Structure 1
Amino acid sequence: METYTIDTLNQRIRLLENRQDREWCAIKEEIDEIRDNLKPLNLIRNTVEEINETVGFKSNLAQSAVSIVIGYLAKKIVVGKSDSKIKNIFGTLLQFAVTNIVSKPHESSKE
C-alpha cells in the first residue's frame, strides 16, 4: 500500500483538474463543430459536396448547375405556385441568394 503526502495528493489533484479542463475544452469544440454542421446552410452545402463527389462532378459548370437546381427547389418550396408578383419577386431573390450561397466553397473544404 502506497502512502501519499499532502503535497503529492495536491499535485495529483491539479493534474487531474488540468486533464478535466482539457477534456471539457475538447468536448465543447466537438459540440460547436456538430452544431455548425447541423445548420441548414451547411447541410445543403455538405449535400452538394457529397453529390459532386459521388457523381464525379469536377467542373465548375456542373457544380454551378447543382447550385442552380437547389436554388430553384428552395424557391418552389418556399413560394410554390403563386400569382402574387411580390411573392414571385421574393422567390426569385431567395433562389438567387441560395444559389450564390450554395455555390461558394465551404470553409472546411478549404482546409
Structure 2
Amino acid sequence: MEAIYTIDSLNQKIKLLEEQQDREWCDIKDEIDEIKENLKPLNLIRNTVQEVNEAVGFKSDLAQSAISIGIGYLAKKLVVGKTDSTFKNILGSILQLAVTTLVAKPADHHEPSEKELYEEESFEG
C-alpha cells in the first residue's frame, strides 16, 4: 500500500475506494437477485428439464416438448389426483396446459442488472 502525503491524494484514494465499494455492492446484489431467480419453482423445473436434456443427450425440440408435457401431466395428477368431478378435471387440464406451456418456454428474458445500470450511469455522467 502506498503512502499518502497530501490531503488531495487522500481524498482521491477515498473516492476510488468508495467507487470500488459501490461496484462490489452492486455485484453482491446482482448475485442475490440471480440466486432468488434460480430458486423460483418454475425456474427450478426449467433448469432440471434442461439438465436432463443435456445429460441424456436430448437435442431435439420434440424430446423437450415431450418432457414438458410429462411435467404438465404430473402437475395435474399431483394437484387434482383421481376424480370423477368434471369441474376438477377441467381445472386440472387447464393447470396441465399452463405448466406445460411455462416449462416449454425458454427463459431468455434479460433484465439489466444493478451493475449494468451503474455502469451506464457512470458513462453518462
| TM-score (normalised: structure 1) | 0.89
Q: Counterpart of 1:12 in structure 2: which amino acid?
A: K
Alignment of 1:1-111 (within 5 A): 2=3, 4-107=5-108
Alpha-carbon distance, 1:3 to partner: 5.3
- Gaps in structure 1 of 5+ consecutive residues: none
Give distance in 2, aligned partners of 1:33 and 1:22: 16
SS in 2 for 1:21: helix
Give distance in 1, aligned partners of 2:56 and 2:22: 44
SS in 1 for 2:106: coil
Tell me how large the CA RMSD over aligned residues is.
1.6
Give distance in 2, aligned partners of 1:56 and 1:3: 59
- Gaps in structure 2 of 5+ consecutive residues: 110-125
Give distance in 2, aligned partners of 1:3 and 1:69: 66
Give distance in 2, aligned partners of 1:19 and 1:9: 15
- Counting matched residue pairs gives 108
Higher relative contact order (CA 8 A, sep 6+): 2
Alpha-carbon distance, 1:82 to partner: 2.0
